Structure 1
Amino acid sequence: MSAEAETLKQAREDFVTQWGALGTQWGINRTMAQIHALLMTAMDPLTTDEVMEELRISRGNAHTNLKELVAWGLVRIVAKKGERKEFFEAEKDVWQIFSIVTRERKRREIDPAMALLAKCSESTVDMKSAEGKAFHDQIRQLEEFIGFASKVADKVSRMKHGFAVQIAAKLLG
């Protein structure tokens, strides 16, 4: 193996490992994020067997996480003529990845939190005690802020990449 190939192999392994650690911060389990990183950096679509071999994981673990990545929209199944095996390839457009992760996190985390806040707010709206009013006010503030942040995230994730970068540059400049 050439020095360049060895360096590339090590860099890819480092990336896959670190992406797995980062994935846990986005609400994705480590193995799911590592599979995503592996597919995202692969030149060609990979089979379940290739994913298993590269990451040294079980068939069940690979299969479950590949199905979940497909459900999220981060990975798609690719058919190859004359092949019976399924091949998988990751979305490689960084802005699309951001948009997909944002959408999925909202659906899995923000929406249930908003529903809980709305329920708590509704059930405490008529409270007369100082403690009840303070609780209701705090919940309403959280509900308003999270609702606002969620709308901003939705709007940004639906923007074209270049336009979003221009707006961010203006805000941060």
Structure 2
Amino acid sequence: MQLDEAKSKFIEGWGTLGSAWGVSRTMAQVHALLLVSLGSLSTEDIMEQLQISRGNVNLNVRALMDWGIVRKELRPGERREFFSAEKDIHKVATLILQERRRRELEPIMRVLGEIRHVEPSPNATPEETAAFAETISGIHNFAEFANRAASTLIKADENWFLSTFMKLMRPG
């Protein structure tokens, strides 16, 4: 397979993976393009290679910068902005995990903490109240476990993470 075809397949595959994780397909494709590009790319470069609009590029590049996995580069004498992706995949995974934790796990943990101890309401039976409290407690316990696991992965040394991950991926 030639390089251009391989890049195209990777960009499509990363886009599909991103959409499975709740990220827009285009955002994941912009990230993939920047990941496999030798140098930084301008908005125009991204538009041309992915056949998307300037607004779409700007929206998705800004979102990727918010996640911390893409950075803007300014070149002396250039009016255009250039963008590059973090190439260290461990760092990318850590940044994504940190952002997902902040956006998804922390808000639900706050809600679960607020509703964990519930009083019976006048129109609820004691059984309903107990069942609700038990369900919320189980979800809260799982969320705390997920939060601790995320913290461990975020703080983990790269070599430990990679060796552990590789052991998990080994067949048999």
| TM-score under structure 2 length normalisation | 0.88
Q: Larger helix proportion, structure 1 or 2? A: 1
Query: C-alpha deviations, 1:113-165, integer Å up to 9, x for none?
Result: 2122223223x2x3370111111011011101111111111211221210223
Distance in 2, matches of 1:169 and 1:70, equals 29
User: What is the aligned length?
Assistant: 166
- In structure 1, runs of 5+ residues without a counterpart are none
1:40-59 to 2 correspondences below 5 Å: 40-59=35-54
Change (3 A) 1:23 1:168: closer
Q: 2:139 aligns with which of 142, 145, 149?
A: 142
Q: Once the two structures are aligned, what percentage of the paired residues are identical?
A: 37
User: Secondary structure of the equivalent of 1:137?
Assistant: helix
Amino acid at match of 1:160: D
Q: Which moves more between the two structures, 126-135 or 88-97?
A: 126-135
Give the C-alpha shift of residue 81 in structure 1.
2.3
1:60 aligns with 2:38: no
Aligned to 1:72: 67
User: Secondary structure of the equivalent of 1:84?
Assistant: coil
Distance in 1, matches of 2:34 and 2:89, equals 13
Give the C-alpha shift of residue 25 in structure 1.
2.7
Q: 2:128 aligns with which of 105, 126, 131?
A: 131
1:152 aligns with 2:145: no
Asked if 2 retains the 8 angstrom alpha-carbon contact of 1:72 and 1:100, the reply is yes
Distance in 2, matches of 1:66 and 1:25, equals 19
Give the C-alpha shift of residue 169 in structure 1.
6.4
User: Secondary structure of the equivalent of 2:108?
Assistant: helix
Amino acid at match of 2:29: Q
Amino acid at match of 2:9: D
Q: 2:32 aligns with which of 33, 37, 44?
A: 37
Amino acid at match of 1:162: N
Q: Which moves more between the two structures, 113-122 or 149-158?
A: 113-122
- In structure 2, runs of 5+ residues without a counterpart are none
Give the C-alpha shift of residue 167 in structure 1.
4.7
User: Secondary structure of the equivalent of 1:63?
Assistant: helix
Query: C-alpha deviations, 1:52-86, integer Å up to 9, x for none?
Result: 11111111110011011111111001122221110
